[in-house]
Amino acid sequence: MNIHEYQAKAVLKSYGAPVAAGVAVFSAQEAEAAAKSLPGPVYVVKTQIHAGGRGKGKFKELGPDAKGGVRVVRSVDEVKSNAAEMLGNTLVTKQTGPAGKQVNRLYIEDGAAIARELYLSLLVDRGTGRVAFVCSTEGGMDIETVAAETPEKILTLPIDPESGVTDLDAIRLAEALKLEEPAKSEGMALFKTLYKAFTDKDMSLLEINPLVVLEDGHVRVLDAKVSFENNALFRHPDIAELRDETEEDPKEIEASKYDLSYVALDGD
């Protein structure tokens, strides 16, 4: 099961991960009120759909020159007008397929002063049978492209389930990401926090792209994509509640009512 970025950030925040202040909204009015509750002066209006690549995505209904699905703006009025422009329209990204996804929710977030964008994820590594970290200094872009063109810039680090993330593991990750203080200590704590959240909640994927180092030297989780293992969802009623059926294939929803794991594919 997938959840929205803002929901993933709330889960990570409950474990102590550094995320920005933000509010999920369903209308331009709510977006305006949300912006007023944030410190400013920079705000980010982020479409909430179960697909990545939103920043570089295009709205079907808007012209080719319209901005994408993640917009950095500098006033409450702009938050409102951008929200009005995006809500109800269809965003097409690399991950949505050509049909795109209708935007029903937005996340209004405090803008970050970014110095560096990094890539960090946790996944279940089938090869080693362990949870592994994947990290790279090349954040903010397609990790598939980095893997294809500059694989030496990616570190994959499987974690021993007996010990969890050791200090040595944390140092290796911090060094691979070229973190310096205070980001280094914060990052080392964050790796342990993320591993705990991942294993506690039976996640199957936790992808932070980008993890950023701010201009003041601190780290922040700027994007978050989380998938949960469906077969373990019964253990996590709090997570099951986050399901957004409007993002799922109606055929798969129907099948899941009968405990069937059905995957809808294209074609006949």
Beta bridge partners of 156: 134
Q: Which stretch binds ligand ADP (CB under 6 A): 53-61, 127-135, 198-206, 245-253?
A: 53-61
Q: Output Rg (C-alpha) for the chain, integer angstroms.
A: 19
Q: Which is nearer to ligand ADP, 21 or 232 (CB)?
A: 21
What is the C-alpha separation between 124 and 199, in angstroms, rounded? 10
Closest CA to 194 of 217, 219, 165, 220: 165
- Between 65 and 84, how does the x/- string for binding to ligand ADP read (CB under 6 A)? -----x-x------------
Q: Which stretch binds ligand ADP (CB under 6 A): 107-115, 158-166, 234-242, 248-256?
A: 107-115
Residue 47 carries which side chain, given as an amino acid letter? T
207 is catalytic: yes
Closest CA to 222 of 19, 13, 14: 19
Element (H, E) at 261: none
Q: Which is nearer to ligand ADP, 107 or 198 (CB)?
A: 107
Residue of 5, 186, 223, 247 interacting with Mg ion (CB under 5 A): 223
252 is catalytic: no
Count of other CB atoms within 10 angstroms of residue 159? 21
Closest CA to 259 of 238, 230, 229: 230
The one catalytic residue in 32, 119, 138, 195 is: 119
Q: Which is nearer to ligand ADP, 114 or 233 (CB)?
A: 114
What residues between 131 and 170 interact with ligand ADP by CB under 6 A?
A: 140
At its nearest, how many Å lie between ligand ADP and the CB of residue 8?
11
What is the C-alpha separation between 42 and 45, in angstroms, rounded? 10
The one catalytic residue in 5, 30, 138, 207 is: 207
Interface residues with Mg ion (CB under 5 A)?
209, 223
> Which residues participate in catalysis according to the annotation?
119, 207
